[in-house]
Amino acid sequence: MKILLAKPRGLCAGVKRAINIVELALKKYGAPIYVLHELVHNKYIINNLLKQGVIFIENFSEIPDNSVLIFSAHGVSKSIRQEAYSRNFNVILDATCPLVKKNHIKVTKANNKGNEVILIGHHGHPEINSTIGQYNNDKGGIYLIKNIKDVYNLKVKNINKLLFITQTTFSIDDASNIINELTKSFPNIIGQIKSDICYATINRQKAIKKIAKKSDLILIVGSKNSSNSNRLLELILKINKPAYLIDCVNDINIEWLRNIKIIGLTAGASVPNILILQILKKLKKLGVKHVIEMQANDEKMFFTLPKILK
């Protein structure tokens, strides 16, 4: 057997920034540090931070006064942000990914102009909740859709004042198809697909397409609640290639590898490199002789940290 290793893979700049913020806060203020929701969607990272004294909460009532609070990488709504600053916390830090925040700004600007927003994304995801929470519905409307059928059922107040925005971790292909239908139904709608779906999502989807063509089986490292990891899985299943989403090396089923010659391996944008190395080590023990890295794009993105932590 041999492995085709996708590049880029694993941690993106937004996830690295969020982890750095929490670890630097631990160093500066000491444990415990409170994070609203899971910082990022990866079990290994969450468990590692728990061991360091991070407490993940869902309600402000769980946080004592004078504590340190951090918003997760997925962002928070305006109302939650306002409530946080109205409480007696010692320090509030924002680990929201800058590319998610970019969508927040777009929603706010559209709202201020009286434009309605069509948001393409997955119901219940914390990024979607935070983005919807930037809009004041008294001035218009924000509508969530996730497929073409939703486009046909969509009813807005003013077809001439519409903007669409895409969840940063959405499928490129699915978004393109949905946007094509949106522009047919609402010719005056404005928006740009590539400016919303983040660079890491685009690059990882391109990279997995490249290795999928030559692989018999695809392993995707990522947690079950990771949006971008699930989109990688869906992409491969749509082309009828066997694929599995695994959290760690222990999830590998030896039966999957029976009669397999070429394994494609990639990882979602919230996966640390240690998990990939552990999987490579295991697969080599199971008979892999060669690991070939296949590059689709180069990544040099970097996001700065809050000044208070520098």
Q: What is the largest CA-CA distance in the chain?
A: 62
The reply, when asked if residue 131 is annotated as ligand binding, is no
The reply, when asked if residue 228 is annotated as ligand binding, is yes
The reply, when asked if residue 171 is annotated as ligand binding, is no
Sheet of 262-267, strands arranged across: 243-246, 217-221, 262-267, 2-7, 290-295
Find the catalytic residue in 127, 181, 234, 299.
Answer: 127
Residue 46 and residue 38 in contact, taking contact as beta carbons nearer than 8 Å: yes
The reply, when asked if residue 125 is annotated as ligand binding, is yes
Long-range contacts of 22-28 (CB under 8 A, 24+ apart): 22/49, 22/54, 22/70, 22/95, 23/52, 24/305, 24/309, 25/68, 25/70, 25/91, 25/93, 25/309, 26/52, 26/53, 26/54, 28/309
The reply, when asked if residue 270 is annotated as ligand binding, is yes
Q: What does the alpha-carbon distance between residue 56 and residue 13 come to, in Å, rounded to a whole number? A: 22
Q: Which helix (H) or strand (E) holds 203?
A: helix 199-212
Find the DSSP H helices in 246-296: 273-285
Q: What does the alpha-carbon distance between residue 72 and residue 26 come to, in Å, rounded to a whole number? A: 15
- What is the Cα 65 distance to its own chain's centre? 31
Of 209, 179, 184, the closest CA to residue 197 belongs to 179
Give helix 172-185 / helix 199-212 axis angle, nearest 10°.
120
The reply, when asked if residue 248 is annotated as ligand binding, is no
The reply, when asked if residue 12 is annotated as ligand binding, is yes
The reply, when asked if residue 41 is annotated as ligand binding, is yes
Residue 282 and residue 249 in contact, taking contact as beta carbons nearer than 8 Å: yes
Q: Is 299 a catalytic residue?
A: no
Query: Measured between alpha carbons, how far apart are the two ends of the chain, in Å?
Result: 46
Asked if residue 8 has a cis previous peptide bond (ω within 30° of 0), the answer is yes
Residue 5 and residue 292 in contact, taking contact as beta carbons nearer than 8 Å: yes
Of 119, 167, 122, 174, the closest CA to residue 143 belongs to 119
Annotated binding site for dimethylallyl diphosphate: 41, 74, 125, 226-228, 270
Annotated binding site: 12, 41, 74, 97, 125, 168, 198, 226-228, 270
Catalytic residues, by residue number, are 127
Annotated binding site for [4Fe-4S] cluster: 12, 97, 198
Annotated binding site for isopentenyl diphosphate: 41, 74, 125, 226-228, 270
